[in-house]
């Protein structure tokens, strides 16, 4: 995706990571509300005075983290990408957000509309003592989970479906129909407990879709739901059939795939 710039203003793609805890989500909001978009745009304004608007691949909610958010911006000056990322990061301090890669892209590149797929990770920890080092970074429950039951429940969600049950009542998407390409659930040791990781891939997601799915699968793992009830909830096409929506702090936007990786070079 890197290459010559055809427009009069160079366009840059930014790969951004952040801890979502201090932010009121990605999207810029009313003055006084700290958001990731607002912080990055304010940093850009320190480099080139004037208003800046950046577009991102996904609008993460308050408390949600990112390992590979992608955004693009247009600047009047032709910057060396390495120097630009360093300059932005200097003005982002002390916020827990960092531009980890930067590249020049063609002016028809769009962080949101050019994307082919988004990936999300949800971290769930089961243990009795409160977590300390991962506080605010995982969802903790105090009971054991059956991973095979959760995997069976997840199979009902793979493919092209009406996900009305698993989207927020305030979701603004034009259609509840989405294709969920993959749900992979793995487990590993965690100090005094276990960690379960839910990895989901799709071209796009509905508002609260991942958190609704993980919250429902947790009920399956806990034994409160059978795996078959996940399919029944999906078929019901009503928000009332959804399991609990899990909290945001365990959710990470892990990456975005494009026809050509803009950061490959």
> 212 vs 44, 145, 169, 219, CA distance in Å?
35, 17, 12, 11
* C-beta separation of 216 from 200 below 8 A: no
How many C-beta atoms surround the C-beta of residue 99 within 10 A? 23
**61 in catalytic set:** yes
| Longest alpha-carbon distance in the chain | 59
Contacts 24+ apart (CB under 8 A), 93-99: 95/18, 95/22, 95/23, 95/34, 95/39, 96/18, 96/19, 96/21, 96/22, 97/16, 97/17, 97/18, 97/19, 97/23, 97/36, 97/39, 97/40, 98/16, 98/17, 98/18, 99/14, 99/15, 99/16, 99/40
- What DSSP state is assigned to residue 225? S
Of the residues 61, 107, 134, 181, only one is catalytic, namely: 61
Classify 109 as helix, strand or coil.
coil
* C-beta separation of 174 from 220 below 8 A: no
| CA proximity to 54, closest of 98, 117, 100, 12 | 12
Query: The tokens of 109 are what?
Result: 């590149």
CA–CA gap between residue 82 and residue 255 (Å, rounded): 20
Residues labelled as active-site residues: 61
């Amino acid at each position: 995706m890197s290459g010559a710039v055809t427009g009069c203003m160079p366009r840059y793609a930014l790969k951004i990571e952040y801890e979502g805890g201090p932010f009121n989500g990605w999207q810029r909001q009313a003055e006084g509300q700290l958001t990731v978009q607002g912080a990055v745009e304010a940093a850009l304004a320190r480099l080139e005075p004037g208003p800046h608007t950046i577009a991102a691949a996904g609008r993460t909610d308050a408390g949600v983290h990112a390992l590979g958010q992608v955004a693009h911006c247009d600047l009047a000056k032709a910057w060396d990408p390495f120097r630009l990322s360093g300059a932005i990061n200097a003005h982002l301090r002390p916020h827990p957000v960092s531009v980890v890669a930067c590249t020049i892209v063609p002016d028809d590149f769009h962080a949101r509309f050019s994307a082919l797929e988004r990936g999300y990770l949800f971290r769930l920890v089961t243990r009795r003592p409160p977590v300390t080092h991962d506080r605010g970074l995982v969802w903790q429950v105090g009971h054991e989970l059956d991973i095979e039951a959760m995997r069976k429940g997840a199979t009902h969600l793979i493919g092209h479906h009406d996900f009305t049950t698993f989207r927020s009542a305030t979701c603004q998407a034009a259609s509840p129909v989405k294709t969920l390409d993959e749900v992979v659930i793995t487990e590993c040791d965690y100090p005094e407990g276990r960690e379960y990781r839910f990895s989901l891939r799709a071209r796009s997601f509905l508002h609260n879709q991942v958190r609704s799915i993980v919250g429902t699968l947790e009920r399956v793992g806990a034994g409160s739901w059978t795996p078959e009830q996940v399919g029944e909830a999906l078929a019901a096409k009503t928000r009332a059939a959804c399991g609990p929506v899990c909290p945001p702090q365990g959710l990470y936007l892990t990456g975005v795939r494009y026809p050509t990786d803009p950061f490959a070079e």
